[in-house]
Amino acid sequence: MGRPSGTVTQEFGAKVAKLQKPAGVSYVFGGDAENQGDSFSTLGLALLISIVMVYLIMVALYDNYIYPFVVMFSIPLSIIGALLALALTNNTMNIFTILGMIMLIGLVAKNAIILVDFTNQMKEEGQSTYNALLHANKARLRPHPHDHHCDGDRDAADCAGYRRVASTKTVWPGSLSAV
């Protein structure tokens, strides 16, 4: 199997840095290394903008600058989990993993928003904060099996995604065929 181009570029850059350069000479990577660097910086900016946009939307949703921080604290934990999963599976950070992390931020924020809303509703009904949090987590933190029935508490995108995954099988890594 080949090696990731980012790893090769880093190793080559380290060896080039050890060379003695004549005065006025500099080295610049081009081609795939340049494209990958540009793509990573653009996607990194998109990741940052997505986090800021999630915060601003929640400020508008809650009419409060503090409640969104409760939701925002779940985002770093999800990114840590994603990076840990990459390390455990011996995968590298690439464009697809960064896009996946951007989507993960949306999913985690959506779930956290629903938890906060449910907790606030329970508090308005007279429950203590502790009991409201317990009930909200019991209601929302449940397994999501891929072969479940789509009832009223799931949105259409989740149901369509679950059904698509449940109706396919992996023939070879990277290729899917319908069952």
> For 147-179, how does the pLDDT look when each residue is reduced to its tens digit (9 = 90+)?
445 555 556 666 665 555 444 444 334 444 444
* Residue 52 half-sphere exposure toward CB, CA atoms < 13 A: 6
Q: Please indicate, yes or no, if residue 78 is contained in any of the structural domains.
A: yes
Count of domains for the chain: 1
Q: Please indicate, yes or no, if residue 172 is contained in any of the structural domains.
A: no
CATH number, domain of 59, equals 1.20.1640.10
**114 against 170, higher pLDDT:** 114
Q: Please indicate, yes or no, if residue 102 is contained in any of the structural domains.
A: yes
Q: Please indicate, yes or no, if residue 47 is contained in any of the structural domains.
A: yes
Q: Please indicate, yes or no, if residue 149 is contained in any of the structural domains.
A: no
Q: Please indicate, yes or no, if residue 134 is contained in any of the structural domains.
A: yes
Q: Please indicate, yes or no, if residue 11 is contained in any of the structural domains.
A: no
Q: What are phi and psi of 50, to 5 degrees?
A: -65, -40
**Residues 42, 98: Cα–Cα separation, whole Å:** 11
> For 42-81, how does the pLDDT look when each residue is reduced to its tens digit (9 = 90+)?
877 887 887 888 889 888 888 888 888 888 888 888 889 9
Q: Is the pTM of this model over 0.75?
A: no
pLDDT of residue 172: 38
State the alpha helices, DSSP H only, in the chain: 5-18, 32-62, 67-72, 74-88, 95-124, 129-140, 156-166
Token pair for 155: 């949105």
Name the residue range of residue 100's domain. 29-143
